[in-house]
Structure 1
Amino acid sequence: MGMLPFLDQPVLLHSDRDPGECTMTPEQCAYKQQYWVFWYQADHRYALPTVAFFLVAIILFSIAHVTASITPRSTKKSPIWWRPLAFLRFLSYKSWRIGGWNSQSLGVFLLGAAGLVFFLAMTLGPHPYYWPNTKELSYGGSPPIATRAGFMALACMPFLIILGAKTNPITLFTGISHEKLFIWHNWIAWAMFVLALVHTFPFIVYHVWLGDIKEQWTSGGVWVTGVVALIAQAWLTFMSIPWIRNRYYEFFKATHFFMAMVFVIFFFIHCDFRMSSWDYFIATAVLYTLSWLYAQCRTWFEHGTRHKARLVPESDETLKVTIDTRMEWGPGQHIFLRFLTCGMHSLTSHPFTICSVPQKDGKNQLVFYIKQHGGVTGRLMSMAKKNPEMQVPVLLDGPYGGIPAGRLQEFDKSLVIGGGAGAGLTLSMIEDFVRFSSSDKEMKVIVATRDPGMRAWYLQALEDLTTRQSQQKPVAGLSVHIHETFSTQLTQSIADSDGKEADVGESGKMQNVHSNECSPLTSEMFGVQLLTGRPDLPNATRQLASQEETSVGVIVCGPSSMTHDVGTASSEVQSHILAKKPGSARELWLHRENFS
């Protein structure tokens, strides 16, 4: 029997909607059966509008995605297109930095505010909140505010769980990658949790008033299953707070799926097939299972189990991971790696941005430059230092996200920015530019690092790129600026240890590239300049967008402060475009890569 004693018998898919004959006065019956409080239609009144709210948002973004895909390029150069687009991009790029934390964009807040208004209106708008019960007269044992909150929380569940999947139909229809949708997974979780509390406490208030709260707890399976589901939901919600999740990520990842299963199972039993409640579990199960199976099929059947990851410590802080493969991917995409020789870490996969591009002969290499942290990256670095060039089995899940094919080639000028381990992303952008860009295109690459060893492996990677692409002359329109942000004393000690002096001018530019790090030909080929100090990224963004009738593409991958500075400058450019400010580009597009 298992959990069946907690369910009404016989178990059905839907409960009966017949309220039976009302034995109260006509006025009391009419009051009980009002549109917004009639219990037997509560799922239709509250759950279905909640589903409709989410679907309308998805449909609007899907229409925008399709429209952008099919609109001719000539139309996109018209003010009719790019001025409204600049307004939408302003909403998407504008954010605020509070302490060490980046806020969400203005557009995300506006869409979230629409959801807040919807849930507040649906929860607090209809009256009454409680039935006017007396000891002699009862309208029902379910307070109206608790009923509607419960069904709205139920309707959130399919969207909550689907938004947590890497492959999901929302990404398919909207073109928005899973990592950018994750904020909605988080916010819907909070909405659902608050609605669950609003559903719970009115029952406690009512039964305390009725005087049977202890009896309800000891004899009612509905109460037991509801409390277990609520505890699991509280765990999932609070453990997903960013600073907690990031601080204890390995523990969070290991417990999240288990607690999610506990929550869904006990929530399913708690709903007890009331009206159409189990339909939402069926929809969730179907959509999530298809998404999960698709990801598993890609991992096990498309990519297989044959891949080996070669580990090489490039510096004390950076690990290079190379995987030979025949898979295809696009620049800027990321992939989830599961290393099978890292103990408990073998149970989880981690996202890393791919720092290479596929080759024409199909003999491809996935290359990753990973900054050492705790957890799996620390374990991998330790293994690599003990045995350089060692190979470990790895499973691949992806690729995901990235930049649409040919997107950068649409812009007259490109700015690619990488900070820390995000420097690896710039290598794939450079190689893509070398292969496909025409002579009238420009790309400026800015790399910032606090790792003294980064310069050597980055310049070596550029030299390897010249060999791979058979590049023998300078790349027109390309310049690479490497900013080293550690102390000048350390910079000087590195120079002394190399037996050469670096001529550092007043601007901070290091005038020569050490010959034992990169050949002069390679340096000239990519326009490499070495500089000290932090780059002025907002100014670099504004300068690139200061030429009229120019289209600019900006890509940034790095620390949160870096992405915020570039996003703020990009939003300022959008406001200049809207105001028709002289000396402003026609358009500026920004892509922020979350993984490095």
Structure 2
Amino acid sequence: MASIAAAALHAGADLVRRHDYSHLTDAQILELTHDPFEESTKYSKAAVICLSSVIGFFGVLNGLKLAVRNNTRITRIPAYQRSVALCRYIDAIQPKALGFIRFPSAGAIALIVAFWLFILIWTFAQQPLYYSDWDLGSAPLAIRAGMFALGCFPFILAFGAKWNIVGFVVGCSPEKLKTFHSWLSHLFRSRTRQNEDGLNPDGLSEVNYSWHVRGMVYYWSGIAAIVPLCWLCWASFAPIRKWSPAFFRYTHYISAILFSAFFYLHCNNVLNSWEYLYAAAGVYFASLAARWSLLAIRNGRKVSRATVELLADDAVRVTVPVTGRKWAAGQHFFVNFFKLRAFDNRPYTVSNAHSVTSDHLTLVFRINPSSGLGPRLLSLAASNASTPVLLDGPYGGPSAARRDLARRETLVLVAGGAGMAHCAAVLEDACARIKRGESVGVKKIHVYWAVRNKTVKSWFDEQLCRATQNLPADLVSFHLFVTGGNDDADSLTSEKAQSELSTEKLKETPSIESGSVFTASTSSALLVPWTTHSGRPALASLLTELFDTAAPGSSIGIASCGPHGLTTDVSRAVAKRQRKIAFQGVSQGVAEVELHTESLDW
């Protein structure tokens, strides 16, 4: 103990020489040297190393996945299949929402919790938490937490950017990374304490005391940063975003600017802290510059003009002529109708495949006819006029995660409402590739669409008919689930009946060369052979039956887009099958399931 005390006093003497702590007692000097302020940079470096390592790890996994994707000798090895199923199982587990609070997948939760525990345990396990006297300096607990937050700051901006290197490395679309952008932001925290050492004779908390030291900008600016930070963190919940997306977006940007400014002042370049802020600014502005440059290049001097067509059930079809622009099936664009609503920039999924119609893209989405952009779009549709639009993208889709669902023997498309735009594009692309004779694996396609009423069938009737034209009639099965009531004589009347769809029909996997051919009429009255059911689809039963009745050793690709509840049901059903493959192995039914989900309200 004597040697330890001597070493501490020696270190304390060094602090005295540098900071003139000669007025302190030996006990106070020992207190300062237990976790020296000058060594606090290790915490921000630890955060950077930890996050970079996780990104690098998943980058390696992404590279390995791409390397072996087309190597059937490896992909058919049982150990490989079970390992892949285990990873997909963790990623597919989807907790149900608690009211308006929605949770990410279990895989994302595990990463977030592990990093939070890493930060919290080190922050609170390290001693001391506070100094005995006010004039010894800021509380060590606050310094550690602040330095950890400082190390996270560049990554928070990187995860929130639309164009970022992280998504490219790990094979993830920007909207998926926003989960980490949101939850990492909650690590920024503040703590208060009281003191009675004479410098603050009233015993005020640090928050209250900060307003009495206005000349110390670096001190009170930390408290000033809390206000916009709280808005950034807590105003991202669904009720506020849905109440007014534009209001949320504007205040989010304003709050981010205010927080960054006060955080910059608060850091005061202590321990070279501004270097992390410069790195964060570099990450953000590099992404912004890339996005704006591509926006200018792709839109060109002549901005595209969109035409609007009114559809059933408060929906519109927006058609935008494009030249030289490519997108993959299932991707979305951020569209700005700047003449109608200058700062309204929203994501819309492209409902047609580039491989079929490369001269224009089509957007189908529902509107509010009485507020927002809705009345202006209705006016355009009534006047048969056009309006200029700016297209930012494409983003997301299965291709962003390096998925090719058409490689699977069975393709399942599950949509809710306007989410059918995503599934229609995937279906159109798969059918076009079959017609061109490409080496796709799909032999059977199931389409399940949940809608409020039957009139919405007209949204995609013509497109789906043309997509399946000159293909075997039993290649694609269409199932429409009407949730708004029984308005058709051939509707089924219960979820039990839905789950008892003909097993023989679901088991059919005809080859492309055999079977009759469905030829769509070229007239305007094109109709899709929908099998109509009433009520919500019992997705757990439907998907489980598909998995169990599939050919032994076969694979299934699933694309789902719709409300959060629908995509959650799909994910949970897939997770159940992945768990069975990973832990038990399968001798019957499907041996591999690949899932891609998109939510309408992310």
1:332-343 correspondence to structure 2 within 5 Å? 332-343=330-341
Distance 1:425 1:17, change over 3 A: farther
Q: Which residue matches 1:126?
A: 126
Residues 474 and 525, structure 1, Cα contact 8 Å, conserved in 2: no
Q: Is the aligned partner of 1:394 residue 2:403? A: no
Distance 1:39 1:505, change over 3 A: closer
Residues 313 and 384, structure 1, Cα contact 8 Å, conserved in 2: no
Q: Matched residue of 1:75: which SS?
A: helix
Cα distance in structure 1, aligned partners of 2:286 and 2:210: 43
Q: Normalising to structure 2: TM-score of the pair?
A: 0.83
Residues 324 and 363, structure 1, Cα contact 8 Å, conserved in 2: no
AA aligned to 1:90 is Y
Deviations 1:453-475 (A, max 9, x none): 21223213324546xxxx33535
Residues 305 and 388, structure 2, Cα contact 8 Å, conserved in 1: yes
Deviation at 1:133, TM superposition (A): 2.6
Cα distance in structure 2, aligned partners of 1:583 and 1:592: 26
Cα distance in structure 1, aligned partners of 2:441 and 2:594: 21
Among residues 325, 331, 337, which one is paired with 2:322 in the alignment?
325
Q: Matched residue of 2:229: which SS?
A: helix
AA aligned to 2:130 is Y
Q: How many residues align?
A: 543
Deviations 1:551-573 (A, max 9, x none): 11111001111111111110110
Deviations 1:498-556 (A, max 9, x none): xxxx555776899xxxxxxx859999997543333322222221122223201111110
1:142-541 correspondence to structure 2 within 5 Å? 142-192=138-188, 194=189, 197-198=190-191, 201-202=192-193, 208=200, 213=209, 216-304=212-300, 305-326=302-323, 327-343=325-341, 346-359=342-355, 363-373=358-368, 376-387=372-383, 389-404=384-399, 407-437=404-434, 441-465=443-467, 471-474=469-472, 477-488=475-486, 491=487, 502-504=489-491, 528-541=530-543
Identity over the aligned pairs, expressed in percent? 25
Q: Which residue matches 1:48?
A: 45
Q: Which residue matches 1:587?
A: 592
Cα distance in structure 1, aligned partners of 2:539 and 2:211: 65
Distance 1:421 1:524, change over 3 A: closer
Distance 1:211 1:444, change over 3 A: closer
Q: Which residue matches 2:106?
A: 106
Cα distance in structure 2, aligned partners of 1:560 and 1:277: 40
Q: Normalising to structure 1: TM-score of the pair?
A: 0.84
Cα distance in structure 1, aligned partners of 2:187 and 2:158: 16
Residues 475 and 526, structure 1, Cα contact 8 Å, conserved in 2: no
AA aligned to 1:432 is D
AA aligned to 2:462 is Q
Q: Which residue matches 2:7?
A: none
Cα distance in structure 2, aligned partners of 1:318 and 1:525: 19
Cα distance in structure 1, aligned partners of 2:250 and 2:566: 30
Deviation at 1:294, TM superposition (A): 0.8
Q: Is the aligned partner of 1:575 residue 2:579? A: yes
Q: Is the aligned partner of 1:59 residue 2:70? A: no
Q: Matched residue of 2:254: which SS?
A: helix
Cα distance in structure 1, aligned partners of 2:293 and 2:257: 22
Q: Which runs of 5+ in 1 are unaligned?
A: 1-15, 493-501, 511-517
Deviation at 1:20, TM superposition (A): 3.8
Q: Matched residue of 1:593: which SS?
A: strand
Q: Which residue matches 1:550?
A: 554
Distance 1:92 1:142, change over 3 A: same
Cα distance in structure 2, aligned partners of 1:215 and 1:526: 69
Cα distance in structure 1, aligned partners of 2:244 and 2:211: 40
CA RMSD of aligned residues (A): 3.0
Cα distance in structure 2, aligned partners of 1:522 and 1:444: 25
